[in-house]
Amino acid sequence: MTAIDAAEYRLLMRRIFVLDAKLMGGADRARALEIFAEVVRRGSFSAAGRALDLTPSAVSRAIDRIEERLGVRLLLRSTRALTLTAEGQAYHQAARRILTDLDDAEQQIADQGAPRGRLRVSAALSHGRLCVVPLLGAFARLYPHILVDIALTDTPVDIAAGQADVAIRFGPLADSTLTARKIGENGRMIVASPDYLAQFGTPQVPEDLYRHNCLNFNFRRAEPVWPFRRDGRVFSLTVKGGIEANNGETLGQLAALGIGIARVGAFSVVSDLAEGRLVPILEAFNPGDVEVIHAVFAGGGNTPARVRAFVDFIAASLR
């Protein structure tokens, strides 16, 4: 993406808004903005066409007309990908804002302002499956005009680029212009199955773990360490095992099968603990560390009502 300085950016944004202010009342302009936003979201003319029930050539013509009207190139086309220019990035932000305003205006008129529209939610695989998805039925009954489009992935999404409306994220957050609302905390515990402990013995102190098969996450760059607290002092031990996984649900499942001992987020093993497939161990040495869980979204006065409704609902439900 090429760079433009602040003065050029302000001039471009002024030009965009002047043009849109003149013609925003026409359905053609709103449709053009929708097509452009969908092309950016889907990454190709053909995928955008399928989503909007248009042919790729119709999508291409719509983009050409926008570029001709503005006198700038918004997308760099190649056989492999579409890339936004700096002007295209600015126009995309403006398009998303205008479409959001239109959607909010319509929803305020319809159904006495009841939130409506598509809500794109991103959540981590395990937490999403175990904690978020079970809540969606109740949310849908409360807000029948909101279409929830949920994607479970451990890959972070770019909300500012329009990849999602709300993302549920664990741990420290990078500095950004986005709004983050705390919706909960995730404590950790060490667990094992009764069968495993009957066969290999129950660790009484952290150092006993050196003789056990400790199941670890595979996404840590550093050597796997488990923290403990003894006599008010926090320390860590390096543990080893025969299996690694990228999520706590899988590690909990392996532990429940009697394969080894795992240190996981409490949310991922709630049912196994309740039904006796797993038991906590070494709780006297638990350091009490937690990960804060946030709902991240583009805040401010233009935040769609559907986003505010979902964040309020998920915060109340998870707490």
Share of residues in the chain with pLDDT > 70 (%): 87
Residue 221 CB burial class (10 angstroms; 0-12, 13-18, ≥19):
exposed
For residue 72, give the DSSP letter.
Answer: S
Note the pLDDT tens digit of each residue in 31-49. Answer: 888 899 999 988 889 888 8
Return the structure tokens found at 151. Answer: 């994607």
Return the structure tokens found at 117. Answer: 């529209």
The pLDDT of residue 155 is 83
Band of pLDDT at residue 132, cut at 50, 70 and 90: very high
The pLDDT of residue 24 is 41
Top-confidence residue, 175 or 24: 175
Instruction: Tell which residue, 93, 99, 97, 91, has the closest CA to residue 63.
Output: 91
For residue 167, give the DSSP letter.
Answer: E
Instruction: Tell which residue, 211, 210, 203, has the closest CA to residue 286.
Output: 203
Return the structure tokens found at 30. Answer: 């709103």
On the question of pLDDT at 228 being above 70, the answer is yes
Top-confidence residue, 157 or 210: 210
Distances (CA, A) of 37 to 148, 183, 212, 247, 296: 19, 30, 53, 33, 21
Band of pLDDT at residue 26, cut at 50, 70 and 90: very low
Instruction: Tell which residue, 180, 148, 119, 37, has the closest CA to residue 304.
Output: 119
The pLDDT of residue 262 is 97
Top-confidence residue, 19 or 129: 129
Query: What per-residue string of b and e applies to 156-168 under the rule 16 or more CB within 10 Å gives b?
Result: ebebeebebbbbb
Look up the CATH architecture of domain 114-319.
Answer: 3-Layer(aba) Sandwich (3.40)
Top-confidence residue, 84 or 79: 84
**Whole-structure pTM value:** 0.59
- Tell me which range, 2-6, 122-126, 217-221, is most confidently predicted by mean pLDDT: 122-126
- How many CB atoms neighbour CB 60 within 10 A? 19
On the question of pLDDT at 101 being above 80, the answer is no
Biggest alpha carbon distance in the chain?
77
Tell me how far apart the terminal alpha carbons of the chain are, to the nearest angstrom. 42
The pLDDT of residue 157 is 85
On the question of pLDDT at 94 being above 70, the answer is yes
Band of pLDDT at residue 79, cut at 50, 70 and 90: confident
On the question of pLDDT at 238 being above 80, the answer is yes
Band of pLDDT at residue 106, cut at 50, 70 and 90: low
Query: Among 96-100, 234-238, 279-283, 311-315, which is the least confidently predicted range?
Result: 96-100
Band of pLDDT at residue 11, cut at 50, 70 and 90: low
The pLDDT of residue 315 is 92
Residue range 112-117: mean pLDDT, rounded:
74
Band of pLDDT at residue 113, cut at 50, 70 and 90: low
Residue limits of CATH 3.40.190.290 in the chain: 114-319
109, 35 in Cβ contact below 8 A?
Answer: no
The pLDDT of residue 30 is 79
What is the CATH topology of the domain spanning 6-110?
Answer: Arc Repressor Mutant, subunit A (1.10.10)
On the question of pLDDT at 104 being above 80, the answer is no
Q: Tell me how far apart the alpha carbons of residues 118 and 162 are, in angstroms, rounded to a whole number.
A: 13
Distances (CA, A) of 298 to 24, 121, 278: 23, 13, 40
Bridge partner list, 292: 185
The pLDDT of residue 17 is 46
The pLDDT of residue 215 is 95
Residue limits of CATH 1.10.10.10 in the chain: 6-110
**What rounded mean pLDDT belongs to the chain?**
85
